[in-house]
Amino acid sequence: MASAAEQLAANLNFSALGKATELKQRIWFTLGALLVYRFGTYIPLPGIDPSAWDQIFRTQAGGILGMFNMFAGGGINRMAIFALNIMPYISASIIIQLMTTVSPTLENLKKEGESGRKLMNQYTRYLTVVLACFQAYGIGIGLESAGQVVAEPGLFFRISTVITLTGGTVFLMWLGEQITARGIGNGISLIILAGIVAELPSALVGMFELGRQGALSTGLILLVIVMAVVVIAFIVFMERAQRRLLIQYPKRQVGNRMFEGQSSHLPLKLNTSGVIPPIFASSLLLLPTTIANFSSAGVAGPEWLQWIVTNFSHGRPLFLISYVGLIVFFAFFYTAIVFNPTETADNLKKHGGFIPGIRPGERTAEYIDYVLSRITLIGAAYLAVVCLIPEILISYAAVPFYFGGTSLLIVVSVTMDTVAQVQGYLLAHQYEGLIKKSKLRGRRR
């Protein structure tokens, strides 16, 4: 068995991709779906003048609209049918997950397994439609009050805007689910990744153009590039970091044979929540400020609306404090959702495993929770630092959003997860091949 495992590890490489038919089909499906998404970001919203909107967008590109445009893959800049992107779905997921902590009904659904998860997903879809309609209507009002952007303002334009933008979000939600089921990687994360990566070259060219015009100094451009490389290396290191708890299994007797006790490790990732906290935090901050920004375009607006636009603008102290606070909150919240110390301790107890020096059962659960809470604190601090420092540089040096910590974190983390899934498929394919070869050898003998 050991020799087979060694042979499998030695032969595991991407040259086996040509023989893995199912994996190739999944990759081609994923690429095709992402290509459809990119086409949609270039189809303008009916009834608007794209050139007039582009002039207005350029005046606000350094604010919250620029950040929203990054997640929308340039859809806001072109005011495309996919302008809302997948953000309403993410906001709906946040609300449903938060409701599970206060609603006994949703909490029971979460414990019911597959059927409960399907019903919760259905609730998330319904809430996505509601949030998308709300945001789309706000965008329609904002476009009408922005000047000469809308050819024929009125109720018909607002209704068509709500239908178009909500339909675009629902389509992307469906497309993301299809990528997850029939493609490779997490569909929602890959849609966000595709938008960021597709706009990255133009952002790089724009930064060099600002340097040529003298708006950005050569030293600052070099600092941004070096910072991006350092942040990427730091993200890779932290995403791979683990705290391994030693698990000991006692001796056992099978028939007349006595088997020695074995030991293994329970790996706890330093950042169990992954890229979810920055995405959730950005989504929540974008939801009220985007509507306020659109609603106040061209008009004075109420004082509370102006207060939101002013204090939650990108780079403002309240925005940065809220951003860090939400990242830390969602790091702990999502970790508590995906990892249950009590369930893990019960499974170890059922299989006879224990942590040396810790009593099985409740004490083991408390110890795992103790360790998990402390490494999650480190992981939350890492996410906050990675996302905050580049954001400050972006705000005060007019560097494009695509070089910020949030975008780099999404790109690196999603890429690492997708590559890990590809390697998993290759490993399974080659393992099946070794089993078939061993069976053929056995028959020949």
Per-domain residue ranges for the chain? 2-444
Task: State the virtual CA torsion across 204, 70, 410, 311 in degrees, nearest 10.
Answer: 110
- What per-residue string of b and e applies to 114-137 under the rule 16 or more CB within 10 Å gives b? eeeeeebeeebeebbbebbbebbb
Predicted TM-score (pTM) of the model is: 0.77
Spatial CA neighbour of 87 closest among 143, 32, 131: 131
Cα distances (Å, whole numbers) of residue 225 to 197, 204, 208, 306, 400: 16, 10, 11, 35, 12
CA distance 65 to 297: 12
pLDDT number for residue 162: 93
Indicate the residue type of 90: I
The answer for residues whose C-beta is within 8 angstroms of residue 399's C-beta and 6 or more apart is 207, 216, 220, 224, 393
Most confident region among 132-136, 246-250, 391-395, 426-430 by mean pLDDT:
132-136
At residue 196, does pLDDT exceed 50? yes
Nearest to 165 by CA among 146, 142, 186, 188: 142
Mean pLDDT of 28-52: 89
CA torsion through residues 335, 341, 347, 353, sign: positive
Considering the domain delimited by 2-444, tell me its CATH architecture.
Answer: Orthogonal Bundle (1.10)
pLDDT of 223: 80
pLDDT recorded at residue 9? 44
Dist CA 345 CA 357 (whole Å): 14
Question: What confidence category does residue 8 fall into, taking pLDDT thresholds of 50, 70 and 90?
Answer: very low
Q: Tell me the mean pLDDT in the region 210-235.
A: 81
pLDDT at 6 over 60: no
Q: What is the DSSP string of 169-203?
A: HHHHHHHHHHHHHHSSS-HHHHHHHHHHHHHHHHH
User: pLDDT tens-digit profile of 89-124?
Assistant: 988 887 888 788 777 887 777 777 777 778 888 889
Q: What angle do CA 75, 81, 84 make, to 5 degrees?
A: 60
